[in-house]
Amino acid sequence: MSKWTKNEFVEALRNNCSREIAKIGERIIEFSEQHASEMSWGRGDGHGTFTFRCNSDFGMLPIFHMTSDGQLNLQVNFLREKELPKQVLRDMVVKMESNFLRDYDTDSYPVDSYEEMEYMFHTYNQVDKFLSTVEGVVYRLKQ
**Helix count (H) and strand count (E) of the chain?**
6, 5
Largest CA distance in the chain: 40
Give residue-wise pLDDT tens across range 94-116.
999 999 999 999 899 999 999 99
Tell me what the mean pLDDT of segment 10-14 comes to.
97
Give residue-wise pLDDT tens across range 30-89.
999 999 999 999 998 889 999 999 999 889 999 999 999 999 999 999 999 987 888 899
Separation CA 7–CA 119 (nearest Å): 25
Is the pLDDT at 120 greater than 90? The verdict is yes
